[in-house]
Structure 1
Amino acid sequence: MNHHVLPPLITAVCTGLLCPGPLARARWAGQAPRLAVAAWGLLAATFTAAVALGALLLFLPYENVHRLGHHATACLAWSGQDCAAAAATMDRWALGAAIGVLALPTAAFCRELLHARRRRGRHAHGLRLIGRTDPGLRATVIPHGAPAVYCLPGRDAQIVVTTGAMDILSTAQLAAALRHERAHIAGRHHVVIGAVTGFGRVFRGLSLARQATAQVPLLLEMAADDRALRHCAREVLATALYSMASARVTDQSAFAAGGPSVALRITRILDRRGVARPVLTGLLWMGSRACVLVPVATACCLILG
């Protein structure tokens, strides 16, 4: 094995094993949930790229490693060189290993999106049979005693409100819950969930996959809460969530305003204390990890080169 495999190996270990724990415990993540979701996505993308590059270098003959930069440069749009011809000169086993690593999470992501779309289609068919459209709410109302507000995202997105929710929620509380669900639809959060779930299925058992699968859905709920808070008071949204805390939506492809994370989210909404400048803190957190990782990987190349 040539020593060029060490930098991607170190990168994979850091992003897949060492960074997920500190990120899951970071206080700034709860104050800047969208940035935290981006951080999880960056870790997953870096880990996948590092494993793919490691697989490429592992199968690539040692004498061809130094020409890898030439092949990469040939594929740049402004290089004026033939990318296909450059790729054809590479070792097929090495190229196949790298493409295979990249194809696995991509295929899992597409599979999750397809299955979620089918589940939403079956759910929407049932709603058409029992529900009615309320133009004022821009939502589908279904007769059910349990208070619940949830959305079915996707191309034909719709928000569902039970009669139980309409009975116990005030006009302001119902509006806050609806804004929360519209935030899920506008942010295309179902695509993020599909990517995280697919990554977790491919790299099952990996610390990064376990932590991301647990943290990202909660962060997306927090992000939707923040968007709803632009138009309503904190107490209004908190009481609406509390009223729907017991709601359970069996369809995993739907986003519900209630659910098991409500207690934590209510505490977050009502507690105005937090990390000062969480976005800046998060960017510094991400930058500090990169500043440690890059020199270590470079040193391995220089020492062993």
Structure 2
Amino acid sequence: MTVPFVLLILGALAAATAPRLLSRADWPEREPVLALWVWQCVIAAVLLCCVSAMALLASAAWWQVRGHVFAFAPTGVVDAYGLSSSYGRWAGTLAILLALGGLWTAAMLTREVRATRARRRRRRAELRERAPRLPGETVPATERLVVLEDTRTDAWWLSGADQRLVITTAALNRLKGRQLDAVLEHEQGHVRARHDLLLHSAGALAGAFPQVPVFAAFRDQVHHLVELAADDTASRRVGRLTTALALVELNEERGVFGPGAAATATLPGRVHRLLEPAPRLSPARRLRVTACSLLIPAVPLLIAFGPGIGALT
């Protein structure tokens, strides 16, 4: 009956130490896609620890659950876990708490998705009001740009079935040369990589458990890393200088580059990163980091299935 305890301790250690270790690393800024992969592996490991511990604790508390969890297990596997009925009271309590945490997470994720859909509907309604189609007007399937009359410099990607890059006339007047292509590639990079799913998941976990360091750090880092990844997508297509100039032109009027800029502004760092890029990791090191990241969620699985595998050998 020690396996659930080991899983809970491992999950707590990962949740407490992973943000510190990743914040001290010097490579996430250079490899944002790889850093996003590592973060997802860490979060998957924490969640696997909780789910596996919940299943084993519930199996110890209720024989009905045990019958479902070990339905296809050969004889002797259940005995290897030591699921004694004497642990029923506190095991059941812990299992219920973990199950409530899972339900709360699902509820927060649902709320996050609904809020996003509501914002998308409002933006579409605003777009239809500010840029209505004339009677009989048809929009070609290849057209992906909508220009709005506005004195503010702004651009965003309107996701959904009818995807469009929406840009204001002020931004269009400021963007020169291939800078518009850089903005388009940046926004399409978000869409192709499905960054919205990562942002929803990170926001739901951080909203459900604001006191858990790993979930709060995951949300903050995802917001930062997806922008870096999209910057890299644009820079590979139009060049780093063009992408950096496009960021400056779009955001200069917001006061994020001057001496009075907020200390938390990330745009100056993004522009500096594009203009003076640090060397990327070698292919061999990227491969090692990717392989080691796969081991992170594999550890709780090995711990959870270890006694059963040992009973079969």
TM-score (norm 2): 0.74
Aligned-pair identity in percent equals 24
Q: Which range moves more in the overlay, 161-170 or 181-190? A: 181-190
Runs of 5+ unmatched residues, structure 2? 75-84, 134-138, 255-263, 308-313
Residue type of the partner of 1:280? L
What SS does the aligned partner of 1:230 have? helix
Hey, what does 2:183 align to over in structure 1?
A: 177
Residue type of the partner of 1:52? V
Residue type of the partner of 2:235? L
What's the CA shift string for 1:239-274, capped at 9, x where partnerless?
A: 1101112477xxxxxxxxxx9422111111122323
CA distance 1:201–1:124, change in 2 (3 Å) = same
What SS does the aligned partner of 1:276 have? coil
Hey, what does 1:124 align to over in structure 2?
A: 124
CA distance 1:223–1:75, change in 2 (3 Å) = farther
Task: Work out the CA distance in 1 between the residues paired with 2:272 and 2:289.
Answer: 21
1:138 matches 2:144: yes
Give the C-alpha shift of residue 24 in structure 1: 2.8
Root-mean-square deviation (Å): 3.7
1:147 to 148, 153, 156: 153
CA distance 1:165–1:7, change in 2 (3 Å) = same
Runs of 5+ unmatched residues, structure 1? 80-89, 249-258
Residue type of the partner of 1:36? A
Residue type of the partner of 2:103? A
Give the C-alpha shift of residue 97 in structure 1: 5.3
Contact 1:15–1:47 (CA under 8 A) maintained in structure 2: yes
Contact 1:28–1:279 (CA under 8 A) maintained in structure 2: no
What's the CA shift string for 1:35-81, capped at 9, x where partnerless?
A: 211222222222122123333444543897xx96x8556469xx9xx
Give the C-alpha shift of residue 288 in structure 1: 7.9
Contact 1:36–1:282 (CA under 8 A) maintained in structure 2: no
Contact 1:142–1:161 (CA under 8 A) maintained in structure 2: yes
Hey, what does 1:200 align to over in structure 2?
A: 206
Residue type of the partner of 1:267? H
Residue type of the partner of 2:51? A
What SS does the aligned partner of 1:192 have? helix
Hey, what does 1:5 align to over in structure 2?
A: 4
1:267 matches 2:272: yes
Hey, what does 1:232 align to over in structure 2?
A: 238
Task: Work out the CA distance in 2 between the residues paired with 1:63 and 1:216.
Answer: 39
TM-score (norm 1): 0.75
Hey, what does 1:50 align to over in structure 2?
A: 49
Q: How does 1:160-171 map to 2 (within 5 A)?
A: 160-171=166-177
Q: Which range moves more in the overlay, 157-166 or 26-35? A: 26-35
Give the C-alpha shift of residue 98 in structure 1: 5.1
What SS does the aligned partner of 2:210 have? coil
